[in-house]
Structure 1
Amino acid sequence: MVLSRGARWAAGALTAVCTVLLLGPSTPGRGLPLARPLPAGAAEEVVPDRVGTWNLCNPCGSGLNFGRATEIATYAPQVIGLQEACVRDVEEIRRYLEEVYGLVYRVEYGPVLRNWNRCGGLPWRPGGFGQAILSAAPMTDRVSVEYPDGGSEDRGYLAVTTLVGGRPVRVFNTHLAQRRQEGVRAGQVGVLAAEVARHDRAVVLGDFNAAPSAPELGPMWALATDADPGCRPSAAGAGADGCGATTDWNSKFDYVFLRGITPRTHRVHPSPYSDHHLLHTDLNPARALPSVGRVPVRS
């Protein structure tokens, strides 16, 4: 059963109202928040040739997860890479996507830290923090790599094989070292690029913490192009040569690098739930994917 966007929201709202009536107001781990109407132009269902990337944190905190789920449901990418992601937050986002908006995503994690202050849990059993990939299709051949030098905080990449536009593709998701650590990022890009080069078709998602013209990104530009059609490594900064900003401080730090694949459309969406914008790209050529990732919203 496939529901339209309006029917999906209405059914989700009814589900939430019924839950509140039966269980009382929503509390962590109990009940559901009220469904929000999705904006005009929102995706009717998972878009089979759409990939996205989003750094979730800053502001951090699980209280933002329903808003984050609503943002993802609005654009409904087939695959989305999340950075600065706590495992428990991603699980909550997935729950809202399925139970409120009828979107089912599988998940693979690439944690590089166990951090009680960031992700909660018990002091002796802190939550995982790092990368996550959500995919409407099954994922295989998961690889999670921590960079030899993370800089001021451990960093790494996560890679899986999954379907995008009905064809298998290797998907990478990474988060490089913070600003003013150019040498560290150069080493990290070297590790990542060596693995990307092994694949004829690859999508590399993530927060690279570097402008397009940064020298450390050279190995990536040699292998792939950014989905933003006007953005090339000659760009001097945000907005130059067609490179649109992807952060609240008007820098382009977030990328959808494509190897052996061309983009059809590319969009950047500022969000109140992070200081990074949500990016998504529709790939070309698009080929129909068998129906995956949608279930009727329970009422």
Structure 2
Amino acid sequence: MVFTRRTRVLIGALGVACLVLLGPSVPSGSLFGGGSLSVEKPVDVVPNRVMTWNICNPCEESNANRAAEIAAAAPQVVGLQEACVRDVERIRDHLRHRYGLDYRVEYGTVLRNWGRCGGLPWSPGAYGQAVLSAAPMTDAVDVEYPDGGSEDRGYMAVTTTVGGRSVRVFNTHLAERRQEEVRAEQAGVLAAEVERHERAIVLGDFNAVPDTPELARMWTLAADADPDCRPSPTGDCEVTTDWQSKFDYIFLRDVAALGHRVHPTPYSDHHPLRADLDLG
């Protein structure tokens, strides 16, 4: 069949219109953004490494850049705060397609908010925490604190494998700054659940520096992955935020830390914190 030039132009225009209407069928940035569906840099997960990161929302950062930060550490488990479900889905896709890192995801959503996570006004995106794990997760729970302060807050927990051992992993985000009494109540709710487990890893943004009273109960149950960080003015705690404060923690209960690192990033006002652990 022979098409005239005018017909060919019309067919091409229709094709472009279909692409615009339907959009790409692959993760954002992985095809039309110049990437590839094939693995660009295969990365191996570090089986005894965990990471916590408040990815900042709303910050309009690229999920490809967020995935690159996670891939650079390649943790067995990563806890994210201020996470929209749609963003986490895209981050997971980038990790799989670009780096060969295949993570399972559990969500601890506490809020459905169009302003935070987009979507349609009658179907807004879900917002809260998420845990990505290279190993299967079981017994997932999602708990909203009785009082969230100025915004709903909560914690989530899963059982998964780190360093070849089964462990309970918590991920939380406490109330915003200048809400000390609310944070103290939230930390009490969290600590009561952590105390039920002989071995636990607690990840999160606690919005409080180490020597604040609201964190006192957590310090009685667990140690920070940073051995020099203690709940006293003499503690030498590495800062985790742009405003030079330590708000992000990896609390360890019956788990030893082999090393830790804070990695400064331009993609959030919090920096990724990771730790290599010994669960033996």
Q: Note the C-alpha offset of 1:58.
A: 4.8
Runs of 4+ aligned residues of structure 1 deviating over 6 Å after TM superposition are: none
The verdict on how the C-alpha distance between 1:259 and 1:178 changes in structure 2, with shifts beyond 3 A counting, is: same
- Structure 1 residue runs without a partner (length 5+): 1-22, 37-41, 287-299
**TM-score, scaled relative to structure 2:** 0.86
Report the residue type matching 1:154 in the other structure: D
The whole-number CA distance in structure 1 between the counterparts of 2:176 and 2:215 is: 14
Contact 2:199 2:255 in 1 (8 A): yes
1:60 matched to which residue of 2?
59
The whole-number CA distance in structure 2 between the counterparts of 1:164 and 1:85 is: 22
Counterpart of 1:185 (choices 167, 172, 183) is 183
The verdict on how the C-alpha distance between 1:89 and 1:245 changes in structure 2, with shifts beyond 3 A counting, is: same
Report the residue type matching 1:168 in the other structure: S
Contact 1:43 1:74 in 2 (8 A): no
The whole-number CA distance in structure 1 between the counterparts of 2:32 and 2:149 is: 39
Counterpart of 1:282 (choices 270, 276, 280) is 276
Q: Note the C-alpha offset of 1:64.
A: 1.4
Report the residue type matching 2:59 in the other structure: C
Counterpart of 1:271 (choices 239, 250, 265) is 265
Q: Note the C-alpha offset of 1:284.
A: 1.5
Q: Note the C-alpha offset of 1:152.
A: 0.3
Question: Secondary structure of the equivalent of 1:85?
Answer: strand
- The superposition leaves residues 202-261 of structure 1 with CA deviations (integer Å, 9 ceiling, x where unpaired) of 000000000000000011000000001100001x3xxx5220100000000000000010
2:68 matched to which residue of 1?
70
1:47 matched to which residue of 2?
46
| 1:202 paired to 2:229 | no
Q: Note the C-alpha offset of 1:96.
A: 0.3
- Structure 2 residue runs without a partner (length 5+): 1-22
Alignment of 1:2-151 (within 5 A): 28=28, 31=31, 33-34=33-34, 44-58=43-57, 60-61=59-60, 63-151=61-149
Which structure would you say has the larger RCO, counting Cα contacts within 8 Å and 6 or more residues apart? 1
Report the residue type matching 1:126 in the other structure: P
Contact 1:33 1:66 in 2 (8 A): no
Count of residues paired in the alignment: 253
- The superposition leaves residues 166-206 of structure 1 with CA deviations (integer Å, 9 ceiling, x where unpaired) of 10000000000000100000000010000000000000000
The verdict on how the C-alpha distance between 1:123 and 1:56 changes in structure 2, with shifts beyond 3 A counting, is: same
The verdict on how the C-alpha distance between 1:145 and 1:128 changes in structure 2, with shifts beyond 3 A counting, is: same
The whole-number CA distance in structure 2 between the counterparts of 1:45 and 1:71 is: 14
